[in-house]
């Protein structure tokens, strides 16, 4: 294995992937692989450490994998349910941050607004991890590419085609992919493209890494020859009143067997979950041989363990 270019992360927090270079992402992959292979070797890695989980949105994978991950490494986790009272509504974010830093060692927050996570991080000395916001989903995207390194090895030159809404997951896939030298193609109906500022920044990173970024409404153009087809729900949490409207607009963007046939013969299918069979993906693709969604869901545990271990300085 090639020697890693770095052994530490460049910042206190894990709020988005913008602040990380390819070498930092590869470091997380390396640590995640070691933690995955040697669960019984690292049971004391975070002994005595405490994790606070602040969630404004429902969660299965993020909540369970952070909780189990901290426990696996010898620490403890406490869940703060803010679904009925958003972060900052009962008590200022600043005061919450100042209190929590006295009791715990790391915070993961799953919020509606990116600025809430950023405010939390700005007001405490302990690490804050973005468990999902309206702008990005960095833990998910990092896990996606970690899973793909297990399948492909080197990702440079591979093409990942994201089909669907240009949402938070899409943004993080674009950022991580263009830093890792992946050809990222976003296929979405007109008017639902990713944030143009994110696209522009990703174009710069792609030029530096040898990857590329393409945004197009054409399914045939986007999917042809792709090594990975990725999709997400058409209406995210907080967009429930748009479900019917979006279903009509995105109808031609369902990932089905016909679409997968346009991709590379060895292409994989990914979905960040939860999935809606018969909407953004057909049951045949979701449950078919090209689907690696459950391998990916498992890897959320290992990648997030790596993020916590590195942020808390426990890995050397």
Strand runs (DSSP E) across 38-181, as ranges?
Answer: 50-55, 76-81, 106-110, 128-132, 159-163
* pLDDT of 237: 65
pLDDT band at 88 (very low <50, low <70, confident <90, very high): confident
pLDDT band at 309 (very low <50, low <70, confident <90, very high): very high
Whether the predicted pLDDT of 85 surpasses 80: no
In 7-59, which ranges are continuous DSSP H helix? 22-37
pLDDT band at 70 (very low <50, low <70, confident <90, very high): very high
| Residue 105 CB contacts under 8 Å (≥ 6 apart), including other chains | 49, 50, 51, 75, 126, 127, 312
**Nearest of 176, 187, 170 to residue 211 by alpha carbon:** 176
Q: What is the arithmetic mean of pLDDT over 37-64?
A: 95
138-296 has the same fold as 22-136+300-311: yes
Q: Of all residues in the chain, what percent carry a pLDDT higher than 70?
A: 98
Whether the predicted pLDDT of 240 surpasses 80: no
CATH of range 22-136+300-311; options 3.30.565.10, 3.30.70.260, 3.40.50.1370, 3.40.50.300? 3.40.50.1370
* pLDDT of 294: 98
Whether the predicted pLDDT of 84 surpasses 70: no
Whether the predicted pLDDT of 16 surpasses 70: yes
pLDDT tens, position by position, 263-304: 999 999 999 999 999 999 999 999 999 999 999 999 999 999
Q: What is the arithmetic mean of pLDDT over 43-72?
A: 96
CA–CA separation, 160 vs 228, rounded Å? 5
Give, in words, the CATH class of 138-296.
Answer: alpha beta
* pLDDT of 228: 98
pLDDT tens, position by position, 202-214: 999 999 999 999 9
Rounded to the nearest integer, the mean pLDDT of the chain is 95
Domain ranges within the chain, ordered by starting residue: 22-136+300-311, 138-296
Residues assigned a catalytic role: 110, 137, 140, 232, 272, 300
């Amino acid at each position: 294995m090639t020697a890693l270019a770095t052994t530490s992360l460049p910042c206190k927090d894990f709020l988005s992937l913008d602040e990380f270079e390819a070498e930092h992402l590869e470091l997380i992959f390396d640590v995640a692989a070691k933690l995955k292979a040697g669960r019984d070797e690292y049971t004391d890695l975070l002994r005595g450490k405490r994790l606070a989980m602040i969630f404004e949105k429902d969660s299965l994978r993020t909540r369970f994998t952070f909780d189990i991950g901290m426990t696996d490494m010898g620490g403890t986790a406490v869940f703060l349910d803010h679904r009925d009272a958003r972060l900052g509504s009962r008590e200022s974010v600043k005061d919450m941050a100042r209190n929590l830093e006295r009791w715990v060692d790391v915070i993961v927050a799953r919020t509606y607004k990116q600025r809430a996570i950023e405010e939390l991080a700005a007001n405490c000395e302990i690490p804050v991890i973005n468990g999902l916001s309206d702008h990005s989903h960095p833990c998910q995207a990092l896990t996606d590419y970690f899973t793909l390194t297990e399948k492909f090895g080197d990702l440079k030159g591979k093409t990942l085609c994201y089909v669907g809404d240009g949402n938070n997951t899409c943004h993080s896939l674009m950022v991580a992919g263009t830093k890792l030298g992946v050809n990222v193609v976003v296929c979405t109906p007109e008017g639902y493209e990713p944030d143009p500022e994110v696209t522009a920044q990703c174009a710069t990173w792609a030029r530096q890494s040898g990857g590329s970024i393409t945004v197009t409404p054409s399914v045939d153009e986007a999917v042809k020859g792709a090594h990975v087809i990725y999709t997400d729900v058409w209406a995210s949490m907080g967009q429930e009143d748009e479900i019917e409207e979006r279903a009509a607009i995105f109808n031609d963007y369902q990932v089905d067997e016909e679409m997968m046939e346009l991709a590379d013969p060895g292409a994989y299918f990914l979905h960040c979950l939860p999935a809606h069979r018969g909407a953004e993906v057909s049951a045949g693709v979701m449950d078919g041989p090209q689907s690696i969604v459950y391998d990916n869901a498992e890897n959320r545990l290992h990648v997030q363990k790596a993020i916590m271990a590195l942020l808390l300085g426990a890995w050397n």
